[in-house]
Structures are given as C-alpha cells and as structure tokens.
C-alpha cells in the first residue's frame, strides 16, 4: 500500500503571499489531519477532516484553512503568509480518526517564508 | 495545545545501552502512542497502548502505561546509532476524537 504523500516537499514564499499544500492519504483512509511543527512550539494540531467535513480544529487564525475532496485527498491553504508561518507541515491519515488509532504521517512540506 | 510532557528533553547514550523515555499527561485517555521522527521528516508510528493495557512489546521496544499516575515510559533496549531520533508520545481520546503530542525527547546514540 502506498504511504501518505505530500506535495510539494519544499516551498519558499514571501510575506503576504498565499500557499496551498496537498496531502494524499493511504487508500481507504477517510481521516486526514494537519499539523504544524516548529522548533519553538512543537507539533501543533491544525485541523482534521473526515469524509469531506472538518471534524476538529486547533487554535490557529482563520488564515489557515483546509478542505477534503471526495477521494479523501486534502489541501490546506495559508493566506497572507507571515514569517512565523515558516514550519514543517505534516499531514496524517487514519481509517476512523486521530483520537482512536494509529496515524500514518507523510514526509511533510517544509515552508520557508521570507 | 500539548498534553504530554516527555522527560528527559534530551538523552545521549552509547550504542548497546538502553534508553528510557517518560511521558506524563493530564487528562483521561483512551490510548497512548509513541512516534519516532528522524531529523526534519515525518513521524513514524512505533506502538499504541490502550488505557486497559499495562505493558506492550514490539521488537526492542517496551512501553508501559500507568493510568493511575498518568504516565507512560518507552524503553529501547540494545540501542543502535540508527535509533538516533526524536521520540514523541501522543495521547488519544475518543471524546471529541482528540489527540495531543508532547514536546518530544531527542535521543542521540553514539557509535
């Protein structure tokens, strides 16, 4: 079975721009969660989608948004980028949800905001 | 917000030695998981232990869970240089389908 894939792997943007990151979960997995990882804040939960519906949301500003498609692929969008958005963005998929079972992580997208 | 707190924050040992990492949490949980992350990469799931279990083994890994003390430990026996990574505990709750990660323990195994 193919693992979780994320594209792009690396991204450089400037302040004020917007960015869209993509995540393809393991086949059959309906839950996709997104995390932001920085040296200072660690792993912070952004949001979880299950069957195209946002099920949970972390404490991030509205500039961070996401969606999930009928094939379970998910995208997250960050608008009006700030320097502090530089981070490794990880997505993870699971069959039923992040609180109940193992999550399978993708390799991440490293975003640098200049 | 994070729930688990790993201890120690960093650990350095020689190859062949055992490494023990601890995780404490605050609220009731349904399961606790341990993940490994090699530098700048995605997390790899190591082991999941449910709240009604006390100990679990997987290869050189041994995880214990004490729900009365709200703590867990991960033991890696006969460590190898390839075990060098950051290790995270994550607590899972069926209530609102929540999962929270700790800040991690950075393990360095010297050859």
Q: How confident is the model over A17-30, as pLDDT tens digits?
A: 999 999 999 999 99
- Supply the pLDDT for residue B3: 65
DSSP state of A25: P
Average pLDDT of span B59-77: 97
Q: Containing H/E element for B7? A: strand B5-7
Q: Does A98 contact B at CB distance below 8 Å?
A: yes
- Supply the pLDDT for residue B2: 55
Summarize pLDDT for A65-106 with one digit per residue, the tens: 999 999 999 999 999 999 999 999 999 999 987 777 889 999
- Residues of B in CB contact (< 8 Å) with A are 1-2, 30-31, 33, 35, 40-45, 48, 88, 92-104
Would the pLDDT of B110 be above 90? yes
CA angle, corner B36, sides to A56 and B50, nearest 5?
60
Would the pLDDT of B67 be above 90? yes
How confident is the prediction for chain B on average, in pLDDT?
92
Chain B residue numbers touching A38 (CB-CB < 8 A): none
Summarize pLDDT for B40-50 with one digit per residue, the tens: 788 999 999 99
What length is written for chain A? 114
Average pLDDT of span B74-89: 96
Q: How far apart (Å, rounded) are the C-alpha atoms in residues A66 and A70?
A: 14
Average pLDDT of span A46-56: 93
Would the pLDDT of B7 be above 90? no
CA distances, B61 to each of A60, B57, B104 (Å): 35, 6, 17
Between these two residues, A109 and B96, which has the higher pLDDT value? A109
**Contact yes or no for B97 and A97 at CB 8 A:** yes
- Percentage of chain A beyond pLDDT 70 is 99
**Residues A76, A105, B49, B33, CA torsion sign:** negative
Tokens of B13: 């040992």
């Amino acid at each position: 079975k193919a693992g979780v894939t994320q594209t792009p792997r690396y991204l450089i943007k400037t302040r004020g721009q917007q960015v869209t990151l993509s995540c393809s979960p393991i086949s059959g997995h309906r839950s996709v969660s997104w995390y932001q990882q920085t040296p200072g804040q660690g792993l912070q939960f952004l949001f979880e989608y299950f069957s195209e519906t946002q099920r949970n949301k972390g404490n991030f500003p509205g500039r961070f948004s996401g969606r999930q498609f009928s094939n379970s692929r998910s995208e997250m969008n960050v608008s009006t980028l700030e320097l502090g958005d530089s981070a490794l963005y990880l997505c993870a998929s699971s069959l039923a949800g992040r609180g109940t079972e193992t999550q399978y992580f993708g390799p991440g997208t490293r975003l640098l905001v200049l | 917000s994070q729930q688990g707190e790993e201890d120690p924050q960093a650990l350095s040992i020689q190859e062949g030695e055992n490494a023990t990492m601890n995780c404490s949490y605050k609220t009731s949980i349904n399961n606790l998981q341990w993940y490994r992350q090699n530098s700048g990469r995605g997390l790899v799931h190591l082991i999941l232990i449910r709240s009604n279990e006390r100990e679990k083994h997987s290869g050189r890994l041994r995880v214990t869970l004490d729900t009365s003390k709200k703590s867990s430990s991960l033991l890696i026996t006969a460590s190898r240089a390839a075990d060098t990574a950051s290790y995270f505990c994550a607590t899972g709750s069926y209530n609102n389908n929540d999962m929270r990660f700790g800040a991690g323990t950075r393990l360095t195994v010297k050859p």
